[in-house]
Amino acid sequence: MNTPTQSITVTWDNAHQRLDRFCRKWYKKRDWLGLSQIYSWVRKWEVKVNGHKKSESYKLQPGDKLLLPIPQKDTFATPAHKKNTARPKPVSIPSIWEIKKHILFEDENRLVRNKPAWIVIHSNDQHANSIHTRMQAYLKDKKLSTQTFTPSFCYRLDKDTSGVLIAATSYQALQWLNEQIRERHVKKEYLTRVVGEHPQRLVHDQPLHKVVDKKFGRWKMVVSKEQWKESYSESFLIQKIQHPEIWTLSKVRVQIKTWRMHQIRVHLAHAWFPVLWDIVYGLPSANRKLFKKHPQQHILHCHRYSFVDHNWKEQSFVSEIKNYFG
């Protein structure tokens, strides 16, 4: 018996993907369907484009007519790695109003939001309520959905980092911004608080290398001239304050030219201006005093993010923050 088929039209926000990747995403919700069957349909040309056979590497164009098989669940066995009898844990998502108030900007290409601290980007076993789940709830409320493309974040912010976070809502927008990032045409500016009297301007040009921290059981970065990657930052003094227990503190603005893991924190610690509340690279004596009054505080804030869009106009998004000394 022949497998029934359905016809769909490729939309603009799903174009320019490989045919096999599109199909893989299209059938993603059918968790009982194995990838081998999906790729078999593509390679045996049972998936047709505009009535013709196409290879799996074909790049879809807006307006292409796809003929896709409609699989019947009772004819396929659930792949072993997808069998799961445990019920998924319910996820508590804030109200749509709470989510909307963090939106800084949106159009047909991107969604810019202000990320609060202590929320992860993607869900995991310890953190189900992520920025990604909130974005999906927001798009569902607005009845915005695409054929296969899931809005994706163009970069990551650590759990304890707040500020500007951009998600591409179309495949073309994701490709464009990723290219700007690779070519280093993006400007990122952070705010942070450090121990010590920071000078008016400080250049950080120390190469970094990733190692395993045995104490914390995680990756960390160290300054190294043997196995290293180029790393460059500049930090500028904004304000000084005399803390009654930790002497002099400085509010600092940091511009980064390269994007290495923990780059700001490592560079400032190497210059003897450790970031407050940073348990990996920070000053333990200062952190112990701060944690008594403020057990959870963000250590970095992505204040400004700028890049050039498809029309060669600079887009700049700013997330303000108040009382940053805590």
- Helix %, strand %, coil % for the chain, to 5? 20, 30, 50
Cβ(193)–Cβ(297) under 8 Å? no
pLDDT of the residue at 125? 60
pLDDT of the residue at 82? 47
**pLDDT over 80 at 107, yes or no:** yes
Rg (CA), the chain: 24
pLDDT of the residue at 251? 93
CA distances from 200 to 207, 301, 314 (A): 23, 20, 28
CATH 3.10.290.10 fits 5-77, yes or no: yes
- Which pLDDT tens digit goes with each residue over 42-61? 877 788 899 888 888 888 88
What CATH topology corresponds to 187-306? Pseudouridine synthase (3.30.2350)
pLDDT exceeding 70 applies to what percent of the chain?
82
Could you tell me the pLDDT band of residue 268, with boundaries at 50, 70 and 90? very high
Least confident of 166-170, 176-180, 212-216: 212-216
Least confident of 98-107, 136-145, 225-234, 264-273: 136-145
Return d(Cα 72, Cα 54) in angstroms, integer: 24
Could you tell me the pLDDT band of residue 19, with boundaries at 50, 70 and 90? confident
**pLDDT over 90 at 318, yes or no:** yes
* Superfamily grouping for domain 96-182: Pseudouridine synthase (3.30.2350.10)
**pLDDT over 80 at 196, yes or no:** yes
Run of H or E residues at 254 = strand 247-256
How many Cβ atoms are within 10 Å of 39's Cβ, its own excluded?
14
Domain ranges of the chain: 5-77, 96-182, 187-306
- Which pLDDT tens digit goes with each residue over 204-215? 999 998 888 777
Return d(Cα 5, Cα 168) in angstroms, integer: 31
Least confident of 71-75, 98-102, 313-317: 71-75
- Which pLDDT tens digit goes with each residue over 206-255? 999 888 877 767 788 889 877 678 899 999 999 998 887 777 899 999 99
**pLDDT over 80 at 283, yes or no:** yes
- Which pLDDT tens digit goes with each residue over 92-106? 677 788 888 889 998
Return d(Cα 272, Cα 161) in angstroms, integer: 21
Query: Comparing 96-182 with 187-306, is the CATH topology the same?
Result: yes
**Mean pLDDT across the chain, nearest whole number?**
81
Average pLDDT over residues 73-85: 51
Return d(Cα 271, Cα 171) in angstroms, integer: 41
Helices first, then strands: H and E counts in the chain: 7, 16
